[in-house]
Amino acid sequence: MKSAIHTLTQHPDIYLGNAADAAQSPIERLPLGVKALDTALAGGIPSAGLSRIRCHQGSGEFQLLHPVFAAQRNTGKKVIWLYRHQSINPVWLAKHKLLTDSWLLSPANEQDALWACEQCIRSQACSLIVYSYASLNAKAARRLQVLSKQYQCLLLNIDYNLQTFMSLPVNVDCELYYKDTQWYITLHRVVGSWPKSDIPICNPLPASNDAIITAMRETQSASVSTLTGS
Amino acid sequence: MQWLYAHFPSLQLDHFVLEQAEDKQAALVVFCPQHNEILQVSQCASTAGIKRGMGLAQACALLNRIQLIPYSAEVECQQLHLLANQLYRIASDIVLLEPQGIAIKLDPIIHYYHSVDNFVALFHHVLQSTALRYHFASGPSVEAAQVLALAGADTVYLSNAQALIALQNVSLKYTQFTSKQVSQFDRMGIRTLQAVFQIPLEEVGKRFDNALISYLLALKGNKAVPRATFHPKQHFRYQCELPYELEDSVKLLRFLTQPVEQCCEYLVSQNLTTDSLQLTLHMADSPKQHVEVRAGAPMHNAKDWLSLITLKLEQLALTSAIRGFQLRCEHTVVFHATSEHLFAVRFNQHAENMLMGTLLAKLGSDAVITPRVCHDHRQDLHIRHGLPHSGAACEQLPSGQHPCWLLIDPQPLSTQTKIVYGPERIQTGWWDDSAVKRDYFIALSSTGQRLWIFRDHQSNWFVHGYFS
């Protein structure tokens, strides 16, 4: 019941008068499970509001966000995926236990995508929106940031356009990149903490042939040593 | 006043195909033995030239391997009530016109959904999820909307005036006039409603009874015929005649899964729960066998009930083969939430309905997808979602690696990559037109992108997805 009242007190349509200050609580954060990163993020990604991740498509960005998705499963609310050209794989959603709670939206243009995003936030039926339709401009980002904080919704902007960089009014603005066989994250902006560059992280491949290669090498070295011995 | 009417011309056949048919592509017809008339025709039978209204001999002459389903108004009424239960979640004023019609009063809904379009989009979404064929129309009265829907208008008119204009061109065969009255009008050279409306009511009254005058007034929207609105019952009943006799009780589970799920959906929607389900088995050569499945505590979860039913059926000794069954849930109790969860679910359901209606109305049904996994290793098929019932839902997921992003059309590989995993060969689909033979790999680009690539049988390389 406590959380139900908490939802009410956070509702933007309810005027709390003098109790408004008392109702405000410190920012709730969702840790990512990477110690160095969570420390730099002051505990994790804020559970409400807009956060941006910039990276190349297929950099393991959703793998990094897995704890965030796991936190949304028990909310009973929807996870919205807004995208343009590609499609989200339902089997991947099912493997991450997100299939029944997910809706996939692929609007025809960016204006419709922003409209749909705003409707999803306002509906209060969604706990997480993954927006990878296009890069956000400052005006749209400000609007979505205010709305998502008001309606207690987490909006993740996955930006695959690395050509241009524009500073946006977001909670967390980070960049995931690969350099010399190592993955790094640079935090351009973190609400409640300072920016930090080049945080090394572990970002494993979904699968690899390493085990087979190692086994073959061991077999080869064993056969070579046998031949040498004989 | 504005009404929306949905007519389900093949309710029994569609239900049979969805829940019971072994071969969904078979030539199936619903046949009325009393009148020797074919009432409902499947796609395959229709392709062979079989039409509604034909006799059995004529149908057999056209196609000798048709499967007959005896018509049952009871089955259609039962399905109509189940449909009404589903629609009751999104609309309040529902009128059932048994055995094939449902009318919804739109006036109170407009205030709730802000516009008719939002509601109509959600209405289609709900009906399309059932995979039943239907026609629909709106009108100033139930009767007017019914006639337009029967005529296949498939339009929600912006105003009642537009609906009345459309109504004037409709043939009399779609009205509720008796065949005798239609032939009487025909002899007078009157074949459309426009011509009927032009006759003064006094003149109509000299030749026809008061019931027809009342019906004409209702068609024009001048008189509202009082009708009982639908209210969900406090108990759930489902009757099913099996397509063939079952010797093994465990095999009954296939036919019980959907009714149990419907029962649990019904319980949740009514804020009810139950601790017992009653199953009556209709046997071939012995009296009915009663089975009661009891749970330790009240439950409303389909998976929990199905696991209990499975255990019960495994222990059940049949006296003879099963021909049919009846599932009943009569001892229901109001769910007393110990937490806010049920309240939250109900609140979310309303919010979801509102959102889904708005999104469908603005973006269109192609842009709003509720994802489903189907039984196929070809990943392309998973993103060609279509209707929710177009592919069989599966609990066992395809094995192998599955990327998060899938390209709708695989693109030729144009960047330098290094293979880090693979191959996984997918060779399937030889039974349809999209046969594939591909060796899939995970490749790493210089920027660290994890690509899902494949080599086809001509050794061409394509990118098919990204592991995000």
Q: Walk along chain B (468 residues) in steps of 10 and give the mean pLDDT of each run.
A: 90 83 79 87 86 86 85 88 88 89 89 86 88 90 91 88 88 87 87 86 84 88 86 84 84 87 84 85 87 77 83 81 88 66 59 83 84 78 50 63 90 92 86 84 93 92 93
Lowest-pLDDT range, A101-115, A212-226, B380-394?
A: B380-394
The Cα of A138 is separated from the nearest Cα of chain B by a number of Å equal to 24
A103 vs B contacts (CB less than 8 Å): 356, 359, 368-370
Closest to B287 (Cα-Cα) out of B318, B330, B327, B249: B318
Cβ neighbours for B448, distance < 8 A, ≥ 6 positions apart: A56, A59, A177, A178, A183
Assess whether B207 and B300 both reside in one domain. Answer: no
In this complex, the residue of B341, B352, B368 whose CB is nearest that of residue A125 is: B352
Assess whether B37 and B155 both reside in one domain. Answer: yes
> With a CB-CB cutoff of 8 Å, which residues 413-452 of chain B face chain A?
419-422, 442, 444-445, 447-451
Q: What pLDDT does B160 receive? A: 87
Confidence class of residue A8 from pLDDT cuts 50, 70 and 90? low
**Whole-number Å distance between alpha carbons of B160 and A128:** 41
Helix (H) or strand (E) holding B113: helix B107-113
Asked if B382 lies within 8 A of A90 by C-beta distance, the reply is: yes
Q: What pLDDT does B299 receive? A: 79
The first and second tokens of residue B264, run together, are 């649990």
Assess whether B116 and B140 both reside in one domain. Answer: yes
Assess whether B262 and B288 both reside in one domain. Answer: yes
Compute the Cα dihedral for B290, B291, B295, B296 and give only its sign: positive
Helix (H) or strand (E) holding B268: helix B253-269
Domains in chain B, number: 3
Amino acid at A200: P
CB burial of residue B328 (10 Å; 0-12, 13-18, 19+): middle
Asked if A207 lies within 8 A of B465 by C-beta distance, the reply is: no
Residue B229 forms part of a structural domain: no
Q: What pLDDT does B392 receive? A: 42
DSSP state of B445: E
> What is the largest distance, in Å, between two alpha-carbon atoms of chain B?
90
**Whole-number Å distance between alpha carbons of B420 and B115:** 53
Asked if B355 lies within 8 A of A63 by C-beta distance, the reply is: no
Closest to B46 (Cα-Cα) out of B62, B31, B68, B24: B62
Residue A58 has pLDDT above 90, yes or no: yes
**Whole-number Å distance between alpha carbons of A152 and A131:** 16
- What is the DSSP annotation of A25-91? -PPPEE--S-HHHHHHTTTSEESSEEEEEE--TTSSHHHHTHHHHHHHGGG-SEEEEE-SSSEE-HH
Assess whether B213 and B141 both reside in one domain. Answer: yes
The torsion angle over the Cα atoms of residues A218, A223, A226 and A230, rounded to 10 degrees, is -160
**Whole-number Å distance between alpha carbons of A95 and B397:** 8
State ipTM.
0.86
Residue B350 forms part of a structural domain: no
Assess whether B204 and B271 both reside in one domain. Answer: no
The Cα of B91 is separated from the nearest Cα of chain A by a number of Å equal to 19
* A90 touches B382 (CB < 8 A): yes
Assess whether B16 and B160 both reside in one domain. Answer: yes
Assess whether B113 and B150 both reside in one domain. Answer: yes
Return the half-sphere exposure (C-beta side, CA atoms, 13 A cut-off) of residue B468.
25
Last residue of a domain, one of B304, B334, B364: B334
Residue B64 forms part of a structural domain: no
The first and second tokens of residue A36, run together, are 């160095």
Assess whether B210 and B274 both reside in one domain. Answer: no
Q: Which fold has domain A2-229?
A: Rossmann fold (3.40.50)
Asked if A4 lies within 8 A of B340 by C-beta distance, the reply is: yes
The Cα of A79 is separated from the nearest Cα of chain B by a number of Å equal to 11
Residue B267 forms part of a structural domain: yes
Alpha-helix residue ranges (DSSP H) falling in A59-184: 61-64, 66-72, 90-95, 110-123, 138-150
B406 CB within 8 Å of a chain A CB: yes
The first and second tokens of residue B229, run together, are 């609105």
CATH of the domain at B320: 3.30.1490.100
A202 vs B contacts (CB less than 8 Å): none
Q: What pLDDT does A1 receive? A: 46
Its domain, for residue B267, covers: 236-334
Mean pLDDT score, A26-53: 91
User: Which tens digit of pLDDT belongs to each residue from B394-438?
Assistant: 567 778 888 999 998 899 999 899 999 989 988 888 887 778 889
Assess whether B251 and B215 both reside in one domain. Answer: no
Residue A147 has pLDDT above 90, yes or no: yes
Residue B177 forms part of a structural domain: yes
Assess whether B164 and B298 both reside in one domain. Answer: no
The Cα of A190 is separated from the nearest Cα of chain B by a number of Å equal to 23
User: Which tens digit of pLDDT belongs to each residue from A166-210?
Assistant: 889 999 999 999 998 899 999 999 998 899 999 999 999 988 888
Compute the Cα dihedral for B423, B427, B428, B429 and give only its sign: positive
pTM, 2 dp: 0.68
